[in-house]
Amino acid sequence: MSCTTVLVGKGASNDGTTMIARTDDGHFDVKKFIVKEPKDQPKKYKSVISHVEIELPDHPMRYTACPSVDPKDGIWAASGINASNVGMTATETISSNPRVLSADPLVEYKKAKSRREKDTIGGIGEEDIVTLVLPYIRSAREGVLRLASLLERYGTYESNGIAFNDENEVWWMETIGGHHWIAKKVPDDVVVMNPNQFGMDSFDLDDALTNQKAHMCSKDLKEFISDYHLDTNQNGVFNPRDIFGSHDDMDHIYNTPRAWFMGRYLCPFSHSWDGENAEFKPESDNLPWSLVPDRKVAVEDVKYLLSGHYQGTDFDPYKSHDTGKRGMYRSIGINRTGVTTICQIRSDVPDEIKGVEWLCFGSTTFSAFIPFYTNVPRLPRYVSKTGLDVSTADFFWGSRLIGTLADTCFSDCVQHIERYHEKTLTKGRRILLEYDKRMKETGDFSLAQKANEKLGKMAEEETAFTLNKVMAEASRNMKNGFKLSDN
C-alpha cells in the first residue's frame, strides 16, 4: 500500500513537539477513528491475510486507531497514540531489490494445493502491526524493540517502514527482506521525507551493534550483508538505501518527485531545487532522507506537505494550462487516500493531555485536519461511527464528497477549499488552547472528552458548509448545462 511519511524531531518543530505523519493510501478504504479499550484487545491475534496466529501480552493499554470499517481484510489500524503518549504509524510501503529479497525471502501465505499438504503460514504486515505493537509499548524505542522481536520470530510478507514517537524521540524502522530490520533515531533538528522508497541514506552500524545510542538493527546484519555481497557502496561509505533499496525508473515517476517537492518547501533557501543547475531535481536519486528545515515546522506545514500536488510547479495536475509536464508525477495528495494522521506528542502540557492526533479522511488536497485529544474513553460519533454507505453524517464521507466534487472544477472550488482548511485549523487550535488552559487550571482532564465533542461538532459544521459550496460550483460546471441565452 503506497503512502507518504513525514517525521519531525522536537528541535525542528515550532513548539518542541515530536510529530509522525503518514497518508494511508489504500484502495479507497473506508476508515473510522476510534479508541480501543484494553478489554477489547484480543488475547490471541490472527491475521486475515497471512493466517499467522500470535499470543499477545497481558495488560494492554488503551490506544487510538484508524481501522477499516469493513473487517473482511483485517483490522488495518493504521496509526494511533497510546495511554503512555507513544505514537505509531504503520506502515509506509518501501522498495527493496532482488539481492535482498532472494537472500531473505518474504514470508508469504501459501494455501495447500492438496489435502495431504498443509498451508504455509505467512508473516506479519500492515494489516497487523499497530494492533500487535502499540498497546504494549511505553516509549518509541520500546516500539522498535517489540516490533523487531516479532519480525525476527514470524517474519513479514512485505517491505515496510514504521514510525514511533514519544515526548522526546522519533524512531524510524525499515524491514529488510523477510526477517531483518534496521532502525534509526531521527535527529532532533531534522524533518524526514519518506515516499515509498527505502529511506535511510546514512547509518552508524557500529553504534547499532554495540551501544545502540541512536541506531539499532538485526544482530546478524553485518554478516548478512557480507555473506550475500549486498554492499554496493564505494570508499567505505555505509548508505543503507543503496544496499537495501531500489533505484528503478519507476522511482523517478512515483517516489523521488514527492521527496523533491517536500524538500523544496522545507529548504527553499539553503538548497537549490529548480532549473538546469539545481542541486536536487525531481528525478534525483540522491535526494536526502532528512533535512534541517530553513525555519521551524508547525502542524500546518506537515499538513501542507501531505496535501501536496506540486503546486507552484509545472507538474501540478490542476494547472489551468498545459505545461507539457502537467500530472506527470505521482502527487502526495492522491485520490485514494483513506486516512491521514499527524501524531503529535507535546511537552509543555501535563501528561494526561500530551497526545494530540490530527485526523484527515480522504484526499488530503481537499480534506481538513482536525485535532483530537487521545487520552479519552471514546471519540465523537462524527469520526468514529463511519458507515460503509455514502452519507453526509460521517466525516469520512463528507471529506470524500468534497474532494470528488471539487476535483472536477478545481479552479472554481479552490477558494472554498482554502477557506475550509484555514477555518478548521484556526478553530481547532483555538479549542485546544481553550481546553489546555482549563485543564491546566482545574486539573480536570475529563474535559478532554468535552473538547473532542466540540471539535467533532466544529468539523461537522464546517464540512457541511464547504460541501454546500463545492456542490454549487460543481453543479454550475456540469457539461449538460444549457440556457435559453446560449442559442
**Residue 95 confidence (pLDDT) above 70:** yes
370 inside domain: no
pLDDT digit string, tens, across residues 253-286: 999 999 999 999 999 999 999 999 999 999 999 9
Provide mean pLDDT across the span 387-400. Answer: 98
CA distance 320 to 26: 28
Provide mean pLDDT across the span 32-45. Answer: 96
Q: Which is nearest to 265 in space by CA: 221, 327, 220, 312?
A: 312
What pLDDT, on the 0 to 100 scale, is given for residue 2? 80
Please name the residues in contact with 439: beta carbons below 8 A apart, sequence gap of 6 or more.
350, 352, 353, 445, 447, 448
**Residue 292 confidence (pLDDT) above 70:** yes
Same domain, 187 and 314: yes
CATH number of the domain encompassing residue 339: 3.60.60
412 inside domain: yes
Give residue 345's pLDDT band: very low, low, confident or very high (50, 70, 90).
Answer: very high
Same domain, 393 and 340: no
Counting the structural domains of the chain, the total is: 2
276 inside domain: yes
Q: Which is nearest to 72 in space by CA: 12, 133, 104, 30?
A: 30
What pLDDT, on the 0 to 100 scale, is given for residue 260? 98
Cell 517537492: give the residue.
Answer: 261
What pLDDT, on the 0 to 100 scale, is given for residue 485? 75
Same domain, 425 and 458: yes
Please report the sign of the dihedral spanned by the C-alpha atoms of residue 440, residue 441, residue 443, residue 449. negative
The DSSP output letter for 22 is: E
Same domain, 86 and 205: yes
**Residue 208 confidence (pLDDT) above 70:** yes
Same domain, 449 and 314: no
Same domain, 275 and 421: no
102 inside domain: yes
Percentage of the chain exceeding pLDDT 90: 95
What pLDDT, on the 0 to 100 scale, is given for residue 487? 60
Same domain, 239 and 333: yes
What pLDDT, on the 0 to 100 scale, is given for residue 177? 98
Residues in the chain: 487
Give residue 1's pLDDT band: very low, low, confident or very high (50, 70, 90).
Answer: low
The domain containing residue 28 runs over which residues? 2-365
The DSSP output letter for 308 is: -
Same domain, 231 and 297: yes
What pLDDT, on the 0 to 100 scale, is given for residue 236? 86
Same domain, 6 and 61: yes
The DSSP output letter for 352 is: G
What pLDDT, on the 0 to 100 scale, is given for residue 423? 98
Which of 300, 333, 365 represents a domain boundary (last residue)?
Answer: 365
Same domain, 81 and 149: yes
Rg (CA), the chain: 23
CA distance 96 to 89: 20
pLDDT digit string, tens, across residues 103-121: 999 999 999 988 889 999 9
CA distance 69 to 77: 10
Q: Which is nearest to 20 in space by CA: 196, 183, 171?
A: 171
CA distance 293 to 191: 7
Same domain, 237 and 360: yes
285 inside domain: yes
CA distance 354 to 348: 8
Same domain, 130 and 260: yes
282 inside domain: yes
3-class DSSP string for 106-168: CCCCECCCCCCCCCECCCECCCCHHHHHHHHCCCHHHHHHHHHHHHHHHCECCCEEEEEECCC
Note if 217 is an active site residue: no
The DSSP output letter for 93 is: E
408 inside domain: yes
266 inside domain: yes
